[in-house]
Chains A and B, each alone.
Chain A
Amino acid sequence: GGIITQTPKFLIGQEGQKLTLKCQQNFNHDTMYWYRQDSGKGLRLIYYSITENDLQKGDLSEGYDASREKKSSFSLTVTSAQKNEMAVFLCASSGTANTEVFFGKGTRLTVV
């Protein structure tokens, strides 16, 4: 089995601040994802990447940047933190198409 590690677990930032969330996976999966989960709700896709240096926008990409530095890591940047985007950000990965998507435990973002 593998694991997805997200850092930090909790992130507090000021309104307007640029913030970076990091994700590492040791599944050797090709595809990685960033999802946002608002309180007790479903997941919305922000960005995904099907291979190193690839980036694809999801439905919620405005206000975010992403970077796939290497196969095992995928980072997400909140370009200017806003109070209405306080949520849990979930990183995920998957192997071949339509196999299970595995999730990390999330980074909870608070904007003050």
Chain B
Amino acid sequence: QQNVQQSPESLIVPEGARTSLNCTFSDSASQYFWWYRQHSGKAPKALMSIFSNGEKEEGRFTIHLNKASLHFSLHIRDSQPSDSALYLCAVSHNTNTGKLTFGDGTVLTVKP
């Protein structure tokens, strides 16, 4: 059974800082890797995903994947107060569904 762990549990950074969030998974057959963001009281919303080793950049956000290490991460450049949220990593298998296993999340607070 898939086990997904996130670190740190919470993080406080100043505005403009670079932020790094980590996620490890247990099933080496996992195929797709996601980061979701959930602002307080709102629905989780997908930020970005990756399926092959390496990195992918979209604006201020970069995702790194290392399947051999069972690890992927999210990096936020020039963090903004509006980035303050719960960040959830999620992993899926290459099956007929998009069934995701989520980590417990990292609460990010960006101080102005």
* Residues in A lying within 8 Å of B, measured CB to CB: 4, 31, 33, 35, 40-45, 48, 50, 56, 58-59, 90, 94-95, 97-101, 103-106
Against A, the Cβ 8 Å flags (1 = close, 0 = not) of B72-105 are 0000000000000010100010111111111111
B102 touches A94 (CB 8 A): no
Q: Which chain B residues lie closer than 8 Å to A50 at the CB level?
A: 96-97
A98 touches B94 (CB 8 A): yes
Known: A42-B102, A42-B105, A105-B43; 8 extra A-B contacts, CB below 8 A, are A35-B102, A40-B105, A40-B107, A45-B101, A50-B96, A50-B97, A97-B95, A104-B43
A90 touches B43 (CB 8 A): yes
Q: Which chain A residues lie closer than 8 Å to B32 at the CB level?
A: 98
Q: How far is the CB of B85 from chain A (nearest CB, A)?
A: 11
